[in-house]
Structures are given as C-alpha cells and as structure tokens.
Amino acid sequence: MKDPYVEKAKQMNYRCRSAFKLLEIDNKFHIIRPGEVILDIGAAPGSWTQVAVERANLSVFNKKFKGVIISVDVLPFEPIAGATALIRADITKLETVEKIKGLLGPRLANCILSDMAPNATGIKHLDHDSITNLCYHVLKLSSLISEDGGNILMKAWDGGNISKLEKEILKTYEIVRRIKPKSSRQDSAEIYLLGQHFKRQHVL
C-alpha cells in the first residue's frame, strides 16, 4: 500500500508497477525506437507492452512512425491496443515460435523484451535455475528472429548462473549489462540483463 510506484501506475494508467522498470531502462539505453519491431515475452498483464506501444508508435519531427509490437504470454491477459497478442502461448514450444515468425513475416525483431518469470517455489537455487532456463529459451529465440544491431532485455534472479548466462549473451551481442532498476524492490534478487547490438552474422 505504501509503494509509490503502485500509485503512480494507477495515475498513469499502466496495468502494473513493472512499467517503470522498462521506462527507466529505456530512458537510459534507448532500446525501443519509433517504427521498430518489438517482441514482449511474458507480457501479462501488459504494462511492458503499453510502454512498447507508446514508444514504438511516435510522431518525430512531423513524421509518423508505427512500430510492430507482439506480446506473448502463457497466461490470459487483455490485449493492448496497438499490439498483437498471443495468449496462452508458450515460447518454449515450437508452435509458438512458428506463430511469432508468421506474424513477423519478412521483418525481424529490433528489440526482444522478457519480464517472464516462473512460479517461485521459495527454494532459492531451484527458482534461480528455473528463470535462468527461461532466459536461455529467450536467447535461443532471439538468434532466430533478431535484426542485426537489435537489443534484448531479460529478467533474471541474481545467483551463480548469471556469469555463464552473460557469456552466452556475448556470443551474439556486442555488449551485456547487468541492471538493477531503482523501481525494482531492493530486497528482491531481481535483476535485468541487457544485450545490445545483435551480431546477426554470428548465427548465420
């Protein structure tokens, strides 16, 4: 009840406080740009998709840009205007990957976002392994559908697997950053891994 981001989310019509994590990261690193193709994985309830729609569909210097935003989750959620929703869709399944590729058509993704997390068991090492495994699925998908120079942002929980995961990200991205947004609860193990400048020639 005392969380200022919860109240701020209500005031700004975001579906949940997590919007401010993405806003903070994007304000600093500019990973979502007007007119680009954005894939939001683990989208429910939709606050990151709201941010992506706002920032990929912009008028800049009297030019109108319209991005392509696809939001995906295994959970049901109300679709966001301006985005295409894949509901009850699991990105670890081939059929979901094929649906995403079909929606993209000839285009490739400029930015892949994942705020996805497993249901926590409360057993720290098991939860850490579970979310790390999801990150590897997102990273594998990125190698299939990312545009050269693209970005990836994934939620993780800090722990022993992070350094290895960062090394894997560096195989296809020029830069990797470990980020703890101010809007992330400080007593949480939650961090975000940002890979920048996808190197498509490395996966062809």
Domain boundaries, the chain: 4-202
Chunked in runs of 10, what are the mean pLDDT values of the chain (204 residues)? 72 84 96 96 96 84 80 95 95 96 96 93 90 96 97 95 96 97 85 95 63
pLDDT of residue 70: 97
Catalytically active residues are 155
pLDDT of residue 3: 75
pTM: 0.91
| Cβ neighbourhood burial of 113 (10 Å; 0-12, 13-18, 19+) | buried
Tokens, residue 192: 């975000």
What does the alpha-carbon distance between residue 199 and residue 51 come to, in Å, rounded to a whole number? 26
Report whether 87 contacts 43 (CB < 8 A): no
pLDDT of residue 43: 96
What does the alpha-carbon distance between residue 67 and residue 52 come to, in Å, rounded to a whole number? 9
CATH architecture of 4-202: 3-Layer(aba) Sandwich (3.40)
pLDDT of residue 57: 85
